[in-house]
Amino acid sequence: MSNVADWWKTAIIDMEPGRIELRGHPIQDLIGHLSFPEMIWLMVRGDKPTPAQARLFEVALVSAVDHGPQAPSIAAARMAVTCGLPLNNAMASAVNMLGDVHGGAGEQAVELFHHIEAHPAGLDIALNDWISEHGKIIPGFGHRFHTPTDPRAPRLMELVHEAIEAGACEGRYLQIAQRVEAEIAHRKSRPIPMNIDGATAVIFAELGFAPPLARGLFCLSRSVGILAHAWEQIQQGGRNKGPIPPGYLWTYIGD
> What is the radius of gyration, based on Cα positions, of the chain?
21
Residues 6+ apart with CB under 8 A from 116: 123, 126, 127, 130, 176, 179, 180
Same domain for 92 and 39: no
Q: pLDDT (tens digit, 9 = 90+) per residue, 198-240?
A: 999 999 999 999 999 999 999 999 999 999 999 999 999 999 9
pTM: 0.94
Average pLDDT, the chain: 95
Based on the domain organization, do 84 and 179 belong to the same domain?
A: yes
The Cα–Cα gap between 87 and 90 comes to 5
Residues 183, 90, single domain; the answer is yes
* pLDDT for the residue 145: 81
Distance separating alpha carbons of residues 193 and 198, to the nearest angstrom: 9
Q: Does residue 155 share a domain with residue 187?
A: yes
Considering the domain architecture, whether residues 138 and 39 belong to the same structural domain is answered as: no
- Residue 223 shares a structural domain with residue 201: yes
Do 121 and 182 belong to one domain? yes
The CATH number that applies at residue 138 is 1.10.230.10
pLDDT of residue 232: 98
Domain extent at residue 155:
49-241
Query: 16 lies in a domain?
Result: yes
Query: How many structural domains are present in the chain?
Result: 2
Confidence of residue 122 (pLDDT cuts 50, 70, 90): very high
With beta carbons less than 8 A apart as the criterion, state whether 217 and 204 touch.
Answer: yes
Same domain, 69 and 81: yes
Q: What are the C-alpha distances in Å from 84 to residues 73, 87, 228?
A: 17, 10, 17
What's the pLDDT band for 1 if we cut at 50, 70, 90?
low
Residues 43 and 55 in one domain: no
Residue 87 has pLDDT above 70, yes or no: yes
What is the predicted pLDDT for the residue at 147?
Answer: 84
Answer yes or no: is 198 within a domain.
Answer: yes
> Under a CB-based contact definition with an 8 Å cutoff, are residues 177 and 202 in contact?
yes
The answer to whether residue 235 is domain-embedded is yes
Structural domain contains residue 252: no
